[in-house]
Chains A and B, each alone.
Chain A
Amino acid sequence: MQSANLAVDLPNRVVGFLEFATMTPPLAPAGWSRWLVPPAALSVHLSIGQAYAWSVFKPPLESALGLSGTASALPFQLGIVMLGLSAAFGGTLVERKGPRWAMTVALCCFSSGFLIAALGAFTEQYWLIVFGYGFVGGIGLGIGYISPVSTLIKWFPDRPGMATGIAIMGFGGGALIASPWSAQMLDSFGAGSEGIALAFLVHGLVYAVFMALGVLLVRVPPPGYRQGGDDGPRPAPGAAKPVAGALISTAQVSAKSAVRTPQFWCLWVVLCMNVTAGIGILEKAAPMITDFFAETDAPVSVSAAAGFVALLSAANMAGRIGWSSTSDLIGRKNMYRVYLGVGALMYLLISRFGDSSKPLFVLCALVILSFYGGGFATVPAYLKDLFGTYQVGAIHGRLLTAWSTAGVLGPLIVNRVADSQEEAGRSGSGLYGLSFTIMIGLLVIGFVANELVRPVHPRHHVPAPREAADDHVTSEQHRTG
Chain B
Amino acid sequence: MTTSPANSTAPAESRRTGLIVFAWLWVGIPLAYGVYELVLKAAQLFTG
Q: Could you tell me which A residues sit within 8 Å of B by CB distance?
A: 30-33, 35-36, 39-40, 42-43, 46, 170, 173, 175-181, 210, 213, 217, 222, 224-225, 227, 229-230, 234, 301-304, 306-311, 313-314, 362
Q: Which of B2, B15, B37 contacts A225 (CB 8 A)?
A: B2
Q: In the complex, what residue of chain B is closest to A224 when comparing beta carbons? A: B2
In the assembled complex, which residues on chain B have CB atoms less than 8 Å from the CB atom of A217? 23
Question: Which residue of chain B lies nearest to A32 when distances are taken between CB atoms in the complex?
Answer: B16
| Distance, CA A314 to CA B38, complexed state (A) | 7
Contacts A32-B12, A227-B3, A310-B44 known; list 14 others, CB within 8 Å. Answer: A30-B9, A39-B26, A46-B27, A170-B31, A177-B34, A179-B34, A181-B33, A213-B26, A224-B2, A234-B3, A301-B48, A306-B44, A307-B44, A310-B38
Q: How far is the CB of B1 from chain A (nearest CB, A)?
A: 6
For the complex of A and B, 5 pairs with smallest distance between CB atoms: A31-B12, A307-B45, A307-B44, A176-B34, A303-B48
Q: How far is the CA of A58 from the CA of B1 in the complex (A)?
A: 48
**Candidates B1, B2, B9, B48; contact of A307 at CB < 8 Å:** B48
* Number of residues of chain B lying within 8 A (CB) of chain A: 35
Please state if B2 and A40 are interface contacts (CB–CB under 8 Å). no
A33 touches B44 (CB 8 A): no
Task: Report which B residues bind A (CB closer than 8 A).
Answer: 1-3, 5-6, 8-13, 15-16, 19-20, 23-24, 26-27, 30-31, 33-35, 37-39, 41-48
Contact of B41 among A40, A173, A178, A310 (CB under 8 A): A310
With a cutoff of 8 Å between Cβ atoms, the chain A residues found around residue B30 in the complex are 46, 177, 210
Main secondary structure on A side of the interface with B: helix
* Contact partners of B48 in chain A: CB under 8 A: 301-304, 306-307
Number of A-B contacts (CB under 8 A): 113
Choose one: B1, B27, B42, B47; the contact of A31 (CB below 8 Å). Answer: B1
In contact, B19 and A30 (Cβ under 8 angstroms): no
Task: Say how far B29's CB is from chain A's closest CB, in angstroms.
Answer: 10
Give Cα distance in the complex from A224 to B6, angstroms: 13
Contacts of B20 in A (CB 8 A): 33, 35-36, 39
What are 7 A-B contacts with C-beta separation under 8 Å?
A36-B16, A42-B27, A176-B34, A177-B34, A307-B47, A310-B42, A362-B45
Whether the pair B44, A225 counts as a contact (CB closer than 8 A) is: no
Task: Identify B46's interface contact among A31, A173, A175, A307, CB under 8 A.
Answer: A307
Write the nearest CB–CB distance from A116 to chain B, whole angstroms.
Answer: 24
Distance between A227 CB and nearest chain B CB, rounded to angstroms: 7
Expressed in whole angstroms, the Cα–Cα distance for A36 and B20 within the complex equals 6
Q: Complex: how many Å from CA A39 to CA B42?
A: 27
Please give, as numbers and ranges, the residues of chain B lying within 8 Å of A43 by CB-CB distance.
Answer: 26-27
